[in-house]
Amino acid sequence: MKQKQMDQPVVAEATFEAAAIGSRARITAIQGGRSLHRRLLGLGLRVGSEVEVLHHRGRGVVVASAGNRIALGGGVSEKLLIEPLPDDTDS
């Protein structure tokens, strides 16, 4: 059995389906091919981008990133893994 290293923080990855409206998240992985990577890059989204969830539209989602609103269909949103970010209201 493999033991976890206690030094490294555990990153809980999820999809946008699990993200609440108004929450912030960082894209940690794109589970798609070169074409999907290029399309998302053209929309300003890449691994490491921080987004805010604005609306859920069926399986899809509308997010805000760098002052832009981006609607992602269900097929695309399911291929993006995200990690939730803490709320700014705690400071």
Where in the chain are the domains?
A: 16-85
Q: Which two tokens stand for residue 82?
A: 């995200």
pLDDT tens sequence across 22-51: 999 999 999 999 999 999 999 999 999 999
Provide the pLDDT for residue 13. 81
**Residue 9: pLDDT above 80?**
no
Q: Domain 16-85 sits in which CATH superfamily?
A: Ferrous iron transport protein A (FeoA) (2.30.30.90)
**53-77 pLDDT tens trace:** 999 989 999 999 999 999 999 999 9
The three-state (H, E, C) secondary structure of the chain, written as one string: CCCCCCCCCCCCCECHHHCCCCCEEEEEEECCCHHHHHHHHHCCCCCCCEEEEEEEECCEEEEEECCEEEEECHHHHCCEEEEECCCHHHC
